[in-house]
Structure 1
Amino acid sequence: MSGTASSVAEAIRAAKAERRGALIGYLPVGFPDLDTSIEAAIAMARAGADVLELGVPYSDPVMDGSVIQEATQTALADGFRVAHVFEAVRRVREAVDVPVLVMTYWNPVLQYGVERFAADLAAAGGAGLITPDITPDAAADWIEISERHGLDRVFLAAPSSSDARLRLVAESSTGFIYTVSTMGITGERAQLDAAARGLTERLRAQGADLACVGIGISTAEQVAAALDYADGAIVGTAFVRALRDGGVPQLADTVRQIAAGTAPR
């Protein structure tokens, strides 16, 4: 991994030093409304998330399961704008000292302007971007601009990726590599794919530093299982559902319960 010092990587390493690994929590900006989504992200950090992942609602979320899709559609219907992302990041960072990544499909970044997006994210205190639908070989502009603004680039690795692709991802990513546990969409699953363990081992063989596994993790037990081989576990659907069903209090309870999976065994 290249680039400037990464607050995300530092947070993951700190969690590994203290416990077994990091918990990365996802919520979409603007769900159920902007202020509540900010309050929820702050609560998530205070309840045990080591890194926050704030999602940009998008009209064609090809990788998201139904719970997250419904949440992002609610945010869009409520008038979400990309400028809200930077407001959310700024307000969260004013309240908690936890790194904040933004997960976004690439089209909203292009529409906003890559340079402008990077500058506004950095000014708000954001740590970088998770980009599920752009690969390193198609991201020359983003790689150059992110280096200039000191932002992390979190690319995805999938079980179907070739070793050459995994090497490129390992060389191009900063912060961590988002290791996709299954080939499907996000959501909860009773069993995590064994493919995630094999993929993480393949990434390490290609020079990857920090690898965090996501998609399908929804319980403390699944977090603990992922941390047997990965540096962090990414949880989204379970947190979005808790916020939807019981507001910020239920979300905070759910984060605490799932964060217990990072404890030493």
Structure 2
Amino acid sequence: MKNRIKTLLSNNKKGILSMYFTAGFPALKDTVTIAESLASAGADIIEIGIPYSDPVADGPTIQASNTVALKNGMRLSMLIEQVKQIRKTVDIPIILMGYINPVLQYGIEKFAKDAAEAGVDGVILPDMPMDEYLEHYKKLFDSLNLSNTFLISPTTSEERIRKIDQVTDGFIYAVSASSITGAKGKFEKQQLDYFDRIKNMKLRNPYLIGFGISNHDTFSMATKYGAGAIVGSAFVDLLKNSKDLKRDISAFVKSLKNGQSH
């Protein structure tokens, strides 16, 4: 069973665009349409958020999308069914991202098996402690060819970054600022210093930069340092206001990658 994330990254591709959205938002059945539209618009990775009632690291945009998705009736088991549906037409990497709580309720082993079987390539569970992962779940994830992505931020020590690099098989998620998620217009000098610092560490794994990427300028700046970038809040905003998902998603992805305006 191939892992699409590893295949994508092994080609030393630069300018990777990973798009994040919350499953079941704006409407319950939109997950499939959004994923298909992203793939056909030229996104490289699809990151689907598992809705949760208390998403502490997220800014107001993504928090609100979680609330709507849960009200719509979105559940993890339903998301896994939707991924099966997406896989009928989409062959780019799919990552499920979320807090550990809904996954624990589902059962981590069952979650890993069901997700891998549905066609998920990787997961990002920011609040799962690394030691716990290594001790209890890494073997399972490896056996299912499921990549697990850890986050680093400007305050992460070099020692921890090196350790994360050792146990990662895929990419590292470099959070651009020690803050909640949200679209920002540009990077500050201290963020660029941090990107430089990671770049100079010559890590084994590539890294993607997330938090604050909202337009072509921030995307191109991020790709000068990392292998690519993750766009979340700005995309969730677009979905909230969209009258025509396919058309708007296509225009947004092209504007991020090529700088064309909507």
Q: When the two structures are superposed, what TM-score results if normalisation uses the length of structure 1? A: 0.90
Alignment gaps of 5+ in structure 1: none
Does residue 226 (structure 1) correspond to residue 222 (structure 2)? The answer is yes
Alignment gaps of 5+ in structure 2: none
Q: 1:50 to 1:14 in 2, by over 3 A?
A: farther
CA deviations over 1:22-56 (Å, ceiling 9, x no partner): 00000111112232121011101111210000000
Give the 4+ runs in structure 1 shifted more than 6 A: none
Match of 2:47 in 1: 53
Match of 1:129 in 2: 123
Deviation at 1:199, TM superposition (A): 3.7
Deviation at 1:14, TM superposition (A): 4.1
1:13-24 correspondence to structure 2 within 5 Å? 13-14=10-11, 16=13, 20-24=14-18
Equivalent-residue separation in structure 2 for 1:9 and 1:198 (angstroms) = 28
Match of 1:245 among 241, 247, 259: 241
CA deviations over 1:98-148 (Å, ceiling 9, x no partner): 110000111111111111000000110000101111232231322222112
Alignment size in residue pairs: 255
Match of 2:144 in 1: 149
Match of 1:255 in 2: 253
Match of 2:21 in 1: 27
Equivalent-residue separation in structure 1 for 2:217 and 2:10 (angstroms) = 21
Deviation at 1:10, TM superposition (A): 2.2
Identity of aligned residues (%): 36
Equivalent-residue separation in structure 2 for 1:15 and 1:167 (angstroms) = 20
**What amino acid is aligned across from residue 254 of structure 2 in structure 1?**
R
Match of 1:8 in 2: 5
Match of 1:39 among 16, 33, 37: 33
Q: 1:129 to 1:9 in 2, by over 3 A?
A: same
1:46-125 correspondence to structure 2 within 5 Å? 46-125=40-119
Deviation at 1:62, TM superposition (A): 0.8
SS of the residue 1:165 aligns to:
helix
**Which range moves more in the overlay, 245-254 or 107-116?**
245-254
Q: Is the 8 A contact 2:96 2:122 kept in 1?
A: yes
Deviation at 1:206, TM superposition (A): 6.3
Deviation at 1:239, TM superposition (A): 1.1
Equivalent-residue separation in structure 2 for 1:222 and 1:9 (angstroms) = 25
**What amino acid is aligned across from residue 227 of structure 2 in structure 1?**
D
Equivalent-residue separation in structure 1 for 2:222 and 2:6 (angstroms) = 18
